[in-house]
Structure 1
Amino acid sequence: MSYKRITVSLPDYLYEDMLALTPTRGVSGYVAEAVQKRVLQQKVKPEDAVTNFLALRAESPKKNIKQILNAIHKGRT
């Protein structure tokens, strides 16, 4: 997966709250997760959630069982 470096501006209170909730080295992941959740909310309309889920699943990168197990193991260490 490739990444893009961006610059964002946040209100001071939001920035301070974010730093309090996440380690310094985890800020990018925290922001990426928040953006991903927001994008998914906007992509998936409640009235057609199943169809949209299947469409999103078709667009998602395919992972084999070894990649999935490695990701699970990595998350547990």
Structure 2
Amino acid sequence: LDNHLLSEVLDAFWAAMDRVREDVDDGHQDPSVTCSQHHEIVEAVAAADGARAVRAMRTHFDGIRNRLEPQSVSESESVSV
């Protein structure tokens, strides 16, 4: 996309994901599912379909969030005990 800001945001995202993976087993998603989700995002962007791209990205990030959420809940419970 030749978007410098987007590149910077993605670099920050991957740095954060690397830290999470060091600290927590995030239950990696099946690579074929990840590939399919990325393909849908790329197709939506290529088609200039903003609404579809937003849905595809939310689906993808919801999957990441759902895999990390049980870990954060159990960690916060153990801290409060």
RCO higher in structure (CA 8 A, sep ≥6): 2
Bigger radius of gyration? 1
Q: TM-score, normalised by structure 2?
A: 0.31
Q: TM-score, normalised by structure 1?
A: 0.32
More helix by share: 2
